[in-house]
């Protein structure tokens, strides 16, 4: 059961989220290659050897997809623009690419949906990746140019603009853990990316403000890091993990400086003079986006910093193997307000679960339960006085789940990738009933 809409403030925004590379089909429309195209073209990087060249063919099917958002009764749609579509070489404007987003945003407005744009959700142009990507300080100016170009064309109709989606994934997951493009495992590359991604954000916010852009934010991901046992070693490992994942970005953004427990390993590899960038990084924001999925358990690992190893957890899991722990969402929302963001409005910009499709592809009662439990977790934070303004389900459609390929299904709507047929699941119907004011 989903809680009734009336449990939330009258202007609370309900939405569905997607990202460009995961749904559009990267191989058409005059787009350049992104580093996800080239990463996916390298054997061994993607579980099922697939890529996003076709994905959900949203590039052609977007009217039907926006109809699905509207018909569920959502207020808003969170989407991202593909940098390589808008600027194939990362610098030069592709009018055809910009025209696509112009039509898409018009399509949202026509359907009464508030457009929530994310300027970058991971599909970095391959030409910029070849210049070092997030390791190269120049990325900050390139990224600000992208944001300004998007604002100049779309800004008059946007309800909200996020600079980046999940800088932890852009920097750490992709340059230290090697799971995402560009697939590096290098502490120096990762440390530079950890700083430049924030520098890019600050530079872009400053440039956007100069253009008169309003309602600016950034989307961060948070994941509960618990010690696997009661030893001081495990507790320390969980603290280091928490510092790298849950504190690095929000502290810098709020002018609180990088956390010491993370600086221990990252500090020696930061670009010289990084301290001078901290004021630019801490630009005033209008809201913060919070993505929350799971918690993980940690133990100490021998050897090199950060001395952190993951241990299996006991809770029920999603198709991703991620533990389901709704109270973690309440904890993060209250912790953020208390320790970092104060009165800044928060949005849950992503939350959702992957679930295998059964014989009946619409049967996803477990997802309805998951969503209901997480919405109740948001309500608990609201009851404690946290200013949460909205909730976006990840994702509208089953789509390309990055290095996991097309296996995990996160959608409210099932996608048959052979025929591209969309079929709303029970969870989509549950949202529709709830948002219409009835029982879900």
> Catalytic amino acids?
166, 350
401 is an interface residue for ligand FCB by CB under 6 A:
yes
Among 37, 51, 123, 166, binds ligand FCB (CB under 6 A): 166
Other beta carbons less than 10 A from residue 219's beta carbon: 25
Distance between CA 319 and CA 354 in Å, rounded? 5
Q: Which of residues 241-270 bind ligand FCB (CB under 6 A)?
A: none
Q: Which of residues 194-223 bind ligand FCB (CB under 6 A)?
A: 221
Q: Which of residues 335-354 bind ligand FCB (CB under 6 A)?
A: 350
Structure token pair of residue 30: 């005059």
Question: Least distance (Å) from ligand FCB to the CB of residue 406?
Answer: 12
Nearer to ligand FCB, 122 or 287 (CB): 122
Q: At what angle do helices 95-110 and 58-71 cross, to 10 degrees?
A: 20
| Selected range binding ligand FCB among 163-171, 199-207, 261-269, 277-285, rule: CB under 6 A | 163-171
Among 410, 413, 424, 427, binds ligand FCB (CB under 6 A): 410
Question: Least distance (Å) from ligand FCB to the CB of residue 22?
Answer: 6
| Selected range binding ligand FCB among 40-48, 137-145, 161-169, 205-213, rule: CB under 6 A | 161-169
Q: Is the dihedral of CA 172, 119, 181, 192 positive or negative?
A: negative
Distances (CA, A) of 413 to 152, 202, 368: 32, 36, 13
Among 332, 394, 428, 431, binds ligand FCB (CB under 6 A): 394
Nearer to ligand FCB, 115 or 408 (CB): 408
Nearer to ligand FCB, 69 or 234 (CB): 69
- Residue 9, SS3? coil
Task: Write the DSSP symbol of residue 158.
Answer: -
Other beta carbons less than 10 A from residue 272's beta carbon: 6
Nearer to ligand FCB, 241 or 299 (CB): 241
Among 2, 5, 8, 19, binds ligand FCB (CB under 6 A): 19
| Selected range binding ligand FCB among 58-66, 89-97, 144-152, 394-402, rule: CB under 6 A | 394-402
Nearer to ligand FCB, 265 or 408 (CB): 408
Per-residue binding letters, 109-148, with ligand FCB (x by CB under 6 A): ----------------------------------------
61 Cβ neighbours under 8 A, 6+ residues apart? 420, 422
Other beta carbons less than 10 A from residue 64's beta carbon: 12
Instruction: Find the radius of gyration of the CA atoms of the chain.
Output: 20
Nearer to ligand FCB, 75 or 401 (CB): 401
Q: Which residues pair with 57 in a beta bridge?
A: none
Question: Least distance (Å) from ligand FCB to the CB of residue 402?
Answer: 6
Task: Write the DSSP symbol of residue 414.
Answer: E
Question: Least distance (Å) from ligand FCB to the CB of residue 53?
Answer: 17
Nearer to ligand FCB, 78 or 142 (CB): 78
Distances (CA, A) of 221 to 179, 286, 292: 16, 18, 6
Question: Least distance (Å) from ligand FCB to the CB of residue 19?
Answer: 5
Question: Least distance (Å) from ligand FCB to the CB of residue 212?
Answer: 28
339 Cβ neighbours under 8 A, 6+ residues apart? none
Q: Which of residues 36-65 bind ligand FCB (CB under 6 A)?
A: none
Distance between CA 132 and CA 424 in Å, rounded? 41
Q: Which residues pair with 125 in a beta bridge?
A: 34
Binding residues for ligand FCB, how many (CB under 6 A)?
Answer: 12
Distance between CA 42 and CA 44 in Å, rounded? 6
Burial class (CB in 10 A: 0-12, 13-18, 19+), 117: buried
- Residue 389, SS3? strand
Nearer to ligand FCB, 299 or 399 (CB): 399
Question: Least distance (Å) from ligand FCB to the CB of residue 10?
Answer: 29
- Residue 440, SS3? coil
Residues that bind ligand FCB (CB under 6 A): 19, 22, 165-166, 169, 221, 291, 350, 394, 401-402, 410
């Amino acid at each position: 059961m989903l809680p009734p809409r009336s449990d939330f403030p009258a202007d609370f925004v309900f939405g569905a989220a997607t990202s460009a590379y995961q749904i559009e089909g990267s191989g058409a429309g005059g787009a350049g290659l992104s580093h996800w195209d080239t990463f996916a073209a390298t054997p061994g990087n993607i579980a099922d050897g697939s890529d996003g060249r076709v994905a959900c063919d949203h590039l052609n099917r977007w009217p039907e997809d926006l109809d699905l958002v509207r018909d569920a009764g959502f207020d808003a749609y969170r989407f991202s623009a593909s940098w390589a579509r808008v600027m194939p070489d990362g610098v030069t404007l592709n009018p055809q690419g910009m025209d696509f987003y112009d039509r898409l945003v018009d399509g949202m407005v026509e359907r009464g949906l508030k457009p929530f744009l994310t300027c970058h959700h991971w599909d970095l142009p391959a030409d910029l990746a070849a210049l070092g990507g997030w390791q190269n300080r120049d990325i900050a100016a390139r990224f600000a140019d992208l944001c300004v170009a998007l604002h100049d064309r779309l800004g008059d109709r946007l309800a909200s603009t996020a600079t980046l989606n999940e800088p932890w994934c852009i920097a750490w997951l992709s340059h230290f853990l090697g799971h995402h493009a560009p697939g590096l495992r290098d502490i120096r590359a990762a440390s530079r990316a950890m700083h430049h991604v924030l520098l890019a954000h600050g530079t872009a916010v400053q440039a956007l403000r100069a253009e008169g852009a309003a309602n600016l934010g950034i989307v961060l991901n948070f994941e509960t890091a618990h010690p696997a046992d009661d030893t001081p070693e495990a507790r320390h490992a969980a603290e280091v993990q928490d510092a790298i994942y849950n504190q690095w970005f929000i502290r810098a953004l709020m002018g609180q400086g990088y956390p010491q427990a993370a600086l221990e390993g990252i500090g020696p590899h930061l670009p010289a003079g990084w301290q001078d960038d901290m004021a630019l990084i801490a630009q005033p924001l209008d809201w913060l986006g919070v993505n929350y999925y799971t918690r993980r358990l940690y133990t100490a690992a021998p050897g090199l910093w950060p001395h952190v190893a993951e241990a299996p957890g006991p809770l029920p899991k999603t198709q991703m193997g991620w533990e389901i722990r709704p109270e973690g969402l309440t904890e993060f929302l209250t912790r953020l307000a208390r320790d970092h963001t104060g009165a800044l409005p928060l949005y849950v910009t992503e939350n959702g679960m992957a679930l295998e499709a059964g014989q009946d592809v619409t049967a996803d009662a477990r997802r309805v339960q998951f969503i209901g439990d997480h919405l109740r977790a948001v309500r608990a934070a609201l009851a404690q006085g946290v200013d949460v303004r909205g909730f976006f389900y990840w994702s509208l459609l089953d789509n390309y789940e990055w290095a996991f390929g097309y296996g995990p299904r996160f959608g409210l709507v099932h996608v048959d990738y052979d025929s591209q047929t969309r079929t709303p699941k029970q969870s989509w119907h549950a949202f529709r009933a709830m948002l219409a004011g009835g029982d879900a």
